[in-house]
Amino acid sequence: MIKDELVINMGPQHPSTHGVLFLELRLNGEIVNDCRPHIGYLHRSIEKVAESRTLTQFIPFTDRLDYLASMNNNLGFCLAAERLLQIEAVRRAQYLRVIVAELNRIASHLLAISTFAQDLGAYATALFYAMRDRQKIVQIFDELCGQRLTYNYVRIGGVSGDMTPKIAQMIRDFIASEREILKDYDDLLTHNIIFKARSKNIGVLAQDIALSYGVTGPNLRATGFNWDVRKDEPYLVYDKLDFKVSLGTVGDAWDRYFVRVQEMRESLKIVEQALAALPEGDPVVKVNKPFRPNGEVYMRTESPRGDLGFYIVGNGEAFPYRLKIRAPSFSNISVLPVMAKGLNVSDAVCVLGSLDIVMGEIDR
């Protein structure tokens, strides 16, 4: 009926573009000829702000990058800063960091899979289930550091609050209940025939394309490429913990979903082990302040969305000379035009949902 290209501007306010993403879709009928993500609606020049803040002052800003995984951002930045300042966190702090990072990974993946289901048209039910479970994690964090979204918990040299028996019990309860609840997600989504029909073999991401675009995290592992910073460049105490890297086979939307579900199970295992092995002692190391970073460092950690890298250059001043953040979502969204081409609109939305991007991290 329509011979010309139909241009649809999806976003920045649209129900399925997570956050303020603006997709310019050029359609032939309902087939996507071209898909151009326009970013920048959430730009706060955080990297520039870093040049007028001390390293400690910058930690709250990292909360606002990937706001669904603030702990992992805190952790990535603090580890980079510690490597630059040659500080080593105490053992207890290292275990606490592993616990909060993995709990936050679960919280983030819960939202990832449920918003993906939402994009496939499973109205809010999965989302509300995920919110219910995430609430338990958020309460644990609230108890730990008094915040529910922006934690500012991991500090250079340690963490801001210590584990109490009450919190440890909350975490143990959460692990026990979540193990059961994850089976519900399998019933509701993973093995649902319509869910599979919508996501199997849709948006297949070839391994070489994923690598050339710098796609990391669950999206890369879904293609079957075994890359997990926690295993391959172990930081903290990950090398002492027993966990598996979950891999997909074909790299379709369902694999990306399922890798996340499996990772939640592994994260529960990690939290359980770390909690059991938590050493006694003070969670904060005494450090000399103010920090005067000198030299440069690049440190990457495994955030729920992939390789989160912080590149810090200091010239002996209190403020860093330059700070660059390698945000995994940025690379993950850049592969979307390749994947969306030739799909119809429904599948393009499915692919976008399965990539699990967070705009706060892309725009910085």
Partner 1 sequence: MNFPVQELLKLAAKGGFVLGFVAVSAMFLIWLERKVSAWIQNRKGPMMTGPQGAFQSVADTVKLLLKENIVPSGADFFIWWLAPFFVAIPAVMAFVCMPFGPHHIVYDLNVGILYICSITSVSVLGIFMAGWGSNNKYSLLGGMRSAAQIISYEVPLLLSVLVVVMEAGTVSMQGIVHAQEPGWFILKPNVMVAFLIYLISATAEVNRVPFDIPEAESELVAGYHTEYSGMKFAMFFVAEYTNFFIISATTATLFFGGWLGPWAPSPVWFLLKAYGIVFFLMWVRWTLPRLRMDQMMTFAWKVLTPLALVNVLVTGWFLVRKG
Under a CB-based contact definition with an 8 Å cutoff, are residues 156 and 81 in contact? yes
User: Binding partner 1 by CB under 8 A: which of 23, 120, 299, 359?
Assistant: 120
Q: Given the DSSP bridges, would you call strands 158-159 and 294-303 parallel, antiparallel or unpaired?
A: unpaired
Q: Is 119 in the site for partner 1 (CB under 8 A)?
A: yes
User: Binding partner 1 by CB under 8 A: which of 194, 206, 276, 277?
Assistant: 194
Under a CB-based contact definition with an 8 Å cutoff, are residues 173 and 190 in contact? no
Q: Is 188 in the site for partner 1 (CB under 8 A)?
A: yes
Compose the 122-151 pattern: x for residues touching partner 1 by CB under 8 A, - for all others: xxxx--xx--x-------------------
- Closer Cβ to partner 1, 116 or 227, answer by number: 116
- Closer Cβ to partner 1, 122 or 358, answer by number: 122
Q: Is 181 in the site for partner 1 (CB under 8 A)?
A: no
Under a CB-based contact definition with an 8 Å cutoff, are residues 35 and 339 in contact? no
Q: Is 15 in the site for partner 1 (CB under 8 A)?
A: yes
CA 167, distance to chain mean position in Å, is: 23
User: Binding partner 1 by CB under 8 A: which of 61, 95, 141, 195?
Assistant: 195
Q: Is 268 exposed, middle or buried (0-12, 13-18, 19+ CB in 10 A)?
A: buried
Q: Is 180 in the site for partner 1 (CB under 8 A)?
A: no
Strands lying side by side in the sheet with 306-315: 294-303, 306-315, 322-326
Residue 129 beta carbon to partner 1: minimum distance, rounded to whole angstroms: 7
- Closer Cβ to partner 1, 290 or 342, answer by number: 342
Q: Is 3 in the site for partner 1 (CB under 8 A)?
A: no
Site for partner 1 in 24-83 (CB under 8 A): 30
Q: Binding segment for partner 1 among 152-160, 216-224, 247-255, 343-351 (CB under 8 A)?
A: 343-351
H helical segments located in the chain: 46-49, 55-63, 70-85, 91-119, 125-145, 165-185, 193-199, 207-212, 218-221, 229-232, 253-276, 328-334, 336-340, 345-355, 359-363
- The one-letter amino acid code at 164 reads T
Under a CB-based contact definition with an 8 Å cutoff, are residues 70 and 361 in contact? no
- Closer Cβ to partner 1, 65 or 189, answer by number: 189
Under a CB-based contact definition with an 8 Å cutoff, are residues 342 and 32 in contact? yes
- Closer Cβ to partner 1, 11 or 217, answer by number: 11
Q: Is 117 in the site for partner 1 (CB under 8 A)?
A: yes
Residue count, binding to partner 1 (CB under 8 A): 32
- Helices 345-355 and 253-276 pack at an angle, to 10 degrees, of 20
Cis (ω within 30 of 0) for the bond into 12?
A: yes
Q: Which residues bind partner 1 (CB under 8 A)?
A: 1, 6, 8, 14-16, 30, 117-125, 128-129, 132, 188-189, 192, 194-195, 197-198, 344-347, 349, 353
